[in-house]
Amino acid sequence: MPQRTREGIIMNRHAMPKLNRRAFVVGTATVGAGLALGLDLPFGGPTVVRAADGSPEVNAWVVIRPDDTVVIRIARSEMGQGTLTGLAQLVAEELECDWSKVTTEYPTPGQSVARKRAWGDFSTGGSRGIRASQEYVRKGGATARMMLIQAAANEWNVPVAECTAASSVITHTPSGKTTTYGKVVEAAARLEPPAEVKLKDPKDWKIAGKGLKRLDTPDKTTGKMIYGIDVKLPGMLNAAIKDCPVFGGKLKSFDEAKVANMKGVKKVVRVGDTAVAVVADTWWHAKTALDALPVVWDEGENAKVTSASIANWLAEGLEDAQPAYLGNQNGDAKAAIASAARKVEAVYNYPYQNHAAMEPLNATVLYTADKCEVWCGTQNGEAAFAATLEASGLTADKCEVHKQMLGGGFGRRGQTDYIRQAVAIARQMPGTPIKLLWSREEDMAHGMYHPVTQCKLTGAFDADNNLTALRIRLSGQSILFALRPAALENGKDPAAFQGLNAQGEAAIGYTVPNLLVEHSMRNPHVPPGFWRGVNVNHNAIYLECFMDELANEVGQDPLEFRRKLMTRHPKHLAVLNAVAEKIGWGKPPPKDVYRGIAQHMGYGSYVAGAAEISVTDGNKIKVHRIVAATDPGYAVNPAQIERQVAGSFVYGLSGLFYGGCTVKDGRIVESNFDTYNSMRISEMPKVESIVMPSGGFWGGVGEPTICVAGPAVLNAYFAATGKRIRSVPLKDQNITFA
């Protein structure tokens, strides 16, 4: 990507078709089928494929230039989470190349489709960027290394077994002869790839597993990095858009004449059934005219919906008589609760949240009768490509998506609504490049929000204060229902139970003799989406705050109470013990400082957090310190993992303290950062991360830890004040940062 920004977007665009690709005509349906194919990734072959500058590919992942520069191709998107650097480390590790000569580039989705998905899945969400592609990118690197060594052995006419490679230099051990990757790459690219490759044991890693610096930092300090919002094309016009503020409502009419003569205005266009856009010479002119444009909406029935009406409907779902999907069950929780010596019950809730990535949504499109090209930040290049095909009505050979750096994603840029809108506008102005940029207000009004849920929890004890039953009844919105209905299981959203499952990558860490976890699905009209952490954000607060309530009920230490229930969950317990030890649990905290603790599992990783806070006037919280532990199985870049952990706490605690999107008259009330605030540096606790990979599995990093900060802080607040907070955001309880 450094290459991309230096050469500029126009260069990039014209360079792409040079890539050696076959004439290719497929329809939307074929592409759809192509995207669904299993991975059958080519690792090289006798036909040399060349990059834009003529350098040969050893295989789809590795291009080597004559000067020994190694270009590593990255299919997943970089949005700050460090995947670009981490994946490059994995390829470089197996390639045995000189890390200082590594650069990266994105293959385009169009190239990938034309090459039978040579780069596999582009989707960058669910903390899958590294864990879901680590095996094949490492094979890509290892295969390339073997071909390069073979090429050198052939040239020297020596047995390949006598040759080794390190730091891009190949050595024939008996003779001491050496050569470099750049010198043998032409020959290597013509070799058949080896049938079998053996990947390194991670304990032998020298590049992966190290806290190396990110590859994309310098341009982010000089203003040179190009994000979607920065794309410039010759003759480009700019569009500002307003979609019906009530979700599900429609655009009735607008009075173009009122703004047609305003400075810079070129056109006012209808976008689908629900939105209107002004196209002008500059975005500022477009936005100014849009603000002045008289628009009549058909708001429809949803205009009656409020946060209170949604809350009432969700509360009904907590009642036994209402239908619910079964998520996890052992024993007979209902009977155990009915016969309990004592029981505890509590109801919690978690609100809608907007992603509010710093870069508002945008996409730039050039549409002509036989071509549709899109430049945008996207978390899923292939989804963006499919959306481009669908919205343009053109075939795959006539479409392309050029991925740009993302100014944050957090799940929002995995969706393609903004791309479809931009194509719809560009189709009305063929031949003119159009950049569609949402205002922050539009971004707040048309999110794909963290879903709204409530949860009733019931715990039962026997006469000896042993926990005999736990019942968790969720009521609320399903993301999969709205966005991936095919992933529902007989109507059930399995993701709703994230962190509460019996087993798998999001398993509960406690053994309770009688357990019942259910979800009463209630889907209000507000569109839900995957918001960093997704369902662990609320599930961890519900479970971990309630575990504290249970411990308190029987007068036990919150850590000791949990430990007794965790003996069969050693990995969950290990991260919990790690944070307890580091924060000094059991030893007295500093004066007026109180502690809280929490653990959870999501995305295949085990996470725990312990917070130290102080409280002034009962409602001003200073979070001094959070100790966080994560076991992601393997740690490809521990320094970046630490940054993800600390960063996730800013996102999660911002949502806990300041977030919450209010629904009134069917629309979202909060319109910008003045009403939807985000944590500042003065509110940032010191985060001490413990990265403790135990090996044998690959867990995610970007999301899992986010969920432990909230309950750790809320439990500390109880320790400090004796008051239990069960409703988010805290601003609605008149609680704020000190």
Partner 1 sequence: MANLTINGKQIEIDVEADTPLLWAIRENVGLTGTKYGCGIAQCGACTVHIDGVAMRSCGISVGDAAGKQITTIEGLAGNGAPHKVQLAWIANDVPQCGYCQSGMIMAVAALLKEKPKPTDADIDGAITNICRCGTFQQVREAIHAAANA
Question: Rule CB under 8 A: which residues touch partner 1?
Answer: 79-82, 213-214, 216-227, 229-230, 232, 238, 263, 282-284, 356-360, 405-410, 437, 439-440, 639, 643, 646-651, 654, 672-674, 678-682, 684, 686-687
- Do the strands 736-737 and 620-631 form a parallel or antiparallel pair, or are they unpaired? parallel
Nearer to partner 1, 177 or 220 (CB): 220
Give least dist CB 295 to partner 1, A: 20
Query: What is the residue whose two structure tokens read 């360079």?
Result: 15
Give least dist CB 112 to partner 1, A: 24
- Of 248, 278, 263, which is closest to residue 667 (Cα–Cα)? 248
3-class SS of residue 23? coil
Query: How many CB atoms neighbour CB 211 within 10 A?
Result: 14
3-class SS of residue 614? strand
- Of 32, 99, 7, which is closest to residue 396 (Cα–Cα)? 32
| Element containing residue 179 per DSSP (H, E) | strand 177-180
Give least dist CB 214 to partner 1, A: 6
Burial class (CB in 10 A: 0-12, 13-18, 19+), 545: buried
Cis ω before 294 (30° cut-off from 0): no
Query: How many CB atoms neighbour CB 149 within 10 A?
Result: 23
| Element containing residue 287 per DSSP (H, E) | helix 283-292
3-class SS of residue 295? strand
Spatial neighbors of 679 by CB under 8 A, at least 6 apart, are 650, 653, 654, 657, 658, 737
Residue 583 in contact with residue 629, Cβ under 8 Å?
no
Give least dist CB 9 to partner 1, A: 11
Nearer to partner 1, 584 or 647 (CB): 647
3-class SS of residue 368? strand
Give least dist CB 270 to partner 1, A: 25
Instruction: Kindly report the backbone phi and psi dihedral angles of residue 376, in degrees, each rounded to the nearest multiple of 5, phi listed first.
Output: -165, 160
Give least dist CB 530 to partner 1, A: 15
Nearer to partner 1, 238 or 539 (CB): 238
Give least dist CB 643 to partner 1, A: 6
Nearer to partner 1, 263 or 484 (CB): 263
Nearer to partner 1, 136 or 438 (CB): 438
Nearer to partner 1, 77 or 520 (CB): 77
- Of 582, 514, 587, which is closest to residue 557 (Cα–Cα)? 587
Spatial neighbors of 284 by CB under 8 A, at least 6 apart, are none
Give least dist CB 684 to partner 1, A: 4
Distance of alpha carbon 192 from alpha carbon 145, whole angstroms: 13
Give least dist CB 177 to partner 1, A: 38
Tell me, rounded to whole angstroms, the distance of Cα 738 from its chain centroid: 30
Query: How many CB atoms neighbour CB 299 within 10 A?
Result: 19
Nearer to partner 1, 269 or 405 (CB): 405
3-class SS of residue 664? strand
Q: Supply the DSSP symbol for 405.
A: B
Give least dist CB 652 to partner 1, A: 9
Distance of alpha carbon 493 from alpha carbon 496, whole angstroms: 6
Distance of alpha carbon 718 from alpha carbon 514, whole angstroms: 27
Nearer to partner 1, 28 or 736 (CB): 736
Give least dist CB 537 to partner 1, A: 15
Nearer to partner 1, 217 or 312 (CB): 217
Give least dist CB 98 to partner 1, A: 20
Nearer to partner 1, 391 or 679 (CB): 679
Give least dist CB 284 to partner 1, A: 4
First to last CA, the chain: 41
Give least dist CB 277 to partner 1, A: 17
CA 554 to each of CA 116, 275, 550, 557, 721: distance values in angstroms, whole numbers, following the listed order: 60, 56, 7, 9, 18
Nearer to partner 1, 476 or 655 (CB): 655
* Secondary structure of 180-243 as H, E, C letters: EHHHHHHHHCCCCCCCCCCCCCHHHCCCCCCCCCCCCCHHHCCCCCCEHHHCCCCCCEEEEEEE
Nearer to partner 1, 4 or 183 (CB): 4
- Of 47, 92, 65, 53, which is closest to residue 189 (Cα–Cα)? 47
Give least dist CB 438 to partner 1, A: 10
Nearer to partner 1, 436 or 547 (CB): 436
Nearer to partner 1, 324 or 406 (CB): 406
Nearer to partner 1, 462 or 688 (CB): 688
Nearer to partner 1, 24 or 673 (CB): 673
Give least dist CB 230 to partner 1, A: 4
- Of 675, 359, 345, 724, which is closest to residue 558 (Cα–Cα)? 724
Residue 572 in contact with residue 599, Cβ under 8 Å?
yes
Spatial neighbors of 738 by CB under 8 A, at least 6 apart, are 614, 615, 616, 620, 621, 622
Nearer to partner 1, 146 or 646 (CB): 646
DSSP secondary structure, 489-535, as one string: BTTB-GGGGTT-BSSSTTB-S---SEEEEEEEE---SSPB---TTTT
Give least dist CB 644 to partner 1, A: 8
